[in-house]
């Protein structure tokens, strides 16, 4: 079978991976069970390199001998890692955006117009902010502090500019896993972010620049978005 030309290889990988992620979303644990940490990650490294695992079935073969707590953690870790890869690809489809060629470099994932470097983080609205989630969107400073201070520990806990992709469902919190795979909608929203990046008022925290893109399911199948510091209210997009 003829392989895709090199210029189309990234698109080929994205289409394959993004479809698989959407297919297996229902099988991914909704919660980490514990904060992302070095201990569990180092144990997995002894049996495989999660960055090289391309399917959930392949991962399951490697982690079969771990207890259920570890398996749930690794399945969610793999899913989030690869959703982030797909997000990076969608950003990089836009003019003026480059992906970091060093995959293990945690300082940045993309650079926009040779000026704005961001580490991309897919996340959700923390529980403490969900009751007044609209207010948290209007002034995300406290939520940004939470993301930097509470979301992870270990080698991944460092300070850099971050672009938070915040997924939230008003229908059912269990659907937030699926929202991460709203690739067509994300492509449109990411393009708007890139095209207006110089006009966005970013949030700062301890010397770092934080950008936030909110993806909100207001009704089943209806996804709206807000680019913090650019949009004053939720914007409508086509159903995903």
The full DSSP string for 100-121 is -S-TT--S-SEEETTTEEEEEE
State the residue for tokens 């997000």: 87
Dihedral pair phi/psi, residue 108, rounded to 5°: -155, 150
pTM (2 decimals)? 0.88
Question: According to the model, what pLDDT value does residue 206 have?
Answer: 93
Rounded alpha-carbon distances, angstroms, from residue 173 to 57, 70, 87, 92: 25, 23, 21, 29
Angle between helices 183-195 and 68-92 (to 10 degrees): 50
Which of 72, 29, 23 lies closest to 173, judged by CA? 29
Query: Which percentage of the chain shows pLDDT scores above 70?
Result: 89
Positions of the chain with pLDDT under 50: 1-7, 154-156
pLDDT of residue 30: 78
pLDDT of residue 21: 94
d(CA 232, CA 182): 22
Gap between the Cα atoms of 179 and 200, Å rounded: 24
């Amino acid at each position: 079978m003829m392989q895709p030309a090199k210029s189309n290889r990234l698109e080929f990988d994205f289409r394959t991976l993004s479809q698989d992620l959407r297919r297996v979303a229902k099988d991914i644990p909704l919660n980490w069970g514990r904060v992302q940490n070095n201990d569990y990650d180092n144990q997995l490294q002894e049996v495989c390199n999660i960055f090289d695992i391309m399917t959930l079935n392949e991962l399951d073969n490697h982690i079969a001998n771990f207890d259920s707590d570890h398996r749930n953690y690794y399945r969610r870790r793999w899913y989030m890692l690869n959703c982030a890869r797909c997000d990076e690809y969608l950003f990089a489809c836009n003019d003026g955006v480059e992906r970091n060629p060093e995959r293990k470099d945690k300082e940045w994932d993309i650079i926009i117009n040779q000026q704005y470097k961001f580490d991309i983080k897919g996340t959700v609205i923390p529980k403490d902010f969900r009751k007044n989630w609209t207010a948290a969107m209007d002034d995300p400073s406290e939520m940004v502090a939470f993301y930097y201070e509470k979301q992870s520990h270990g080698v991944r806990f460092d300070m850099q500019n971050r672009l938070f992709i915040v997924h939230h469902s008003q229908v059912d919190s269990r659907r937030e896993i699926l929202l991460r795979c709203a690739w067509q909608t994300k492509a449109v929203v990411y393009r708007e972010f890139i095209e207006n990046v110089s006009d966005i008022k970013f949030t700062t925290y301890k010397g770092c620049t934080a950008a936030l893109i909110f993806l909100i399911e207001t009704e089943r199948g209806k996804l709206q978005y807000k680019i913090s510091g650019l949009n004053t209210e939720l914007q409508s997009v086509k159903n995903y």
